[in-house]
Amino acid sequence: MLRAIGLMENGVCLPGFHIWGDWFDAKIENPEPPISMTDPRLIEDALRHPETFYIFDGLSSFSNGADENNNPEMTIVMQGAKKLARKCAGVLILHHTNRANKDGWRGAMAIVDASDHALFVNKDGRDVLHLGAIRFRACAKWFADLEIEFLNRWPDGRIGEFYNLKTHNSGVKGANKPKGLEDWEKQKLAAGRAEVESIQRAKELIEDNYAAGKVLTKNQLGTMLGIGARLQAELLTGADGRPWLCQPGSNRSVLFYPVSARQPDGSIREPVKS
């Protein structure tokens, strides 16, 4: 496998790649592998070589005996992993899924909560890998279906084991599955148009109701637009530059006024009830 993905050639690992296994290695002064991600040798190595990317296989082998079903104990383990990750190029931890939930994980919620990104990988009988996001701070949850192709020739013509990942489907969870880059671009454009149309419709509703002597709350406006609480927060109050004014109301509500309701002194003019 190492040869197939380009990390080994002629039986020798490429420079910069090293496996720290539990077998004897005369080249290592202290060969015993770490049992936690806070091992001083790892921290020292990360400080000396901050470009290093660490892969731990798997989580239970580097938890120093912590119970993976215990949230407080796994929080400590994951915090240690995060401290190491902040000193280097990153940390990847392999972990097993729960047999009852193929798209989930085994053990405590802290394993996912304390991570920056948590992904699931499972495989069907046709050598197709299904990848998806359990938790992803950087963007919306995404998915990808990849078929593993085992080949006996490299793209540059060399003879030898090589494997390729062929994309079947990919995209953002909950969206229509795009078939390729062109469809993905079309999907993004459609989403952008839908947002512009929703903003224009919300502006009209706010102005029309204000003219009729009524101020809409966020829930009322969201219901009129047919959007849920998450989109209400993102679309109506989650961005600057919207063509309306937001003001706090009673019971933690948010009230919407047209821009024309702002008076020269900065105060908001209440509508005239008919």
Write out pLDDT tens, residues 29-41. Answer: 657 888 899 999 9
8-17, 175-184, 224-233, 263-272 — which one is most confidently predicted on average?
A: 263-272
Mean pLDDT calculated for residue range 78-93: 90
Vertex 130, ends 127 and 131: CA angle to 5°? 135
In this prediction, residue 16 has a pLDDT band, given cuts at 50, 70 and 90, of: confident
Structure tokens at 90: 């990153």
**Overall size of the chain counted in residues:** 274
- Please check the confidence at residue 141 and state whether its pLDDT lies above 70: no
In this prediction, residue 196 has a pLDDT band, given cuts at 50, 70 and 90, of: confident
pLDDT of residue 232: 76
Integer Cα distance of 132 and 103 in angstroms: 8
Which helix (H) or strand (E) segment holds residue 130: the answer is strand 128-136
The residues, any chain, with a CB within 8 Å of residue 267's CB and separated by 6 or more, are: none
Mean pLDDT calculated for residue range 178-203: 69
Helices (H), the chain: 40-48, 71-85, 110-113, 181-211, 218-225, 229-231
Among 108-112, 191-195, 221-225, 253-257, which is the least confidently predicted range? 191-195
pLDDT of residue 178: 47
Give CA separation, 44 vs 29, 47, 99, in Å.
15, 5, 37
pLDDT of residue 105: 79
pLDDT of residue 249: 87
Residue 8 neighbours by CB distance under 10 Å: 15
pLDDT greater at residue 96 or residue 147:
96
Quick one: which of 132, 137, 131 has its CA closest to 116? 137
Structure tokens at 132: 């998806």
Quick one: which of 101, 151, 95 has its CA closest to 118? 95
In this prediction, residue 274 has a pLDDT band, given cuts at 50, 70 and 90, of: low
pLDDT of residue 236: 83
The residues, any chain, with a CB within 8 Å of residue 257's CB and separated by 6 or more, are: 206, 210, 215, 244, 245, 246, 247, 268
Mean pLDDT calculated for residue range 73-79: 90
7-16, 236-245, 248-257 — which one is most confidently predicted on average?
A: 248-257
pLDDT greater at residue 1 or residue 70:
70
Mean pLDDT calculated for residue range 16-42: 77
pLDDT of residue 270: 94
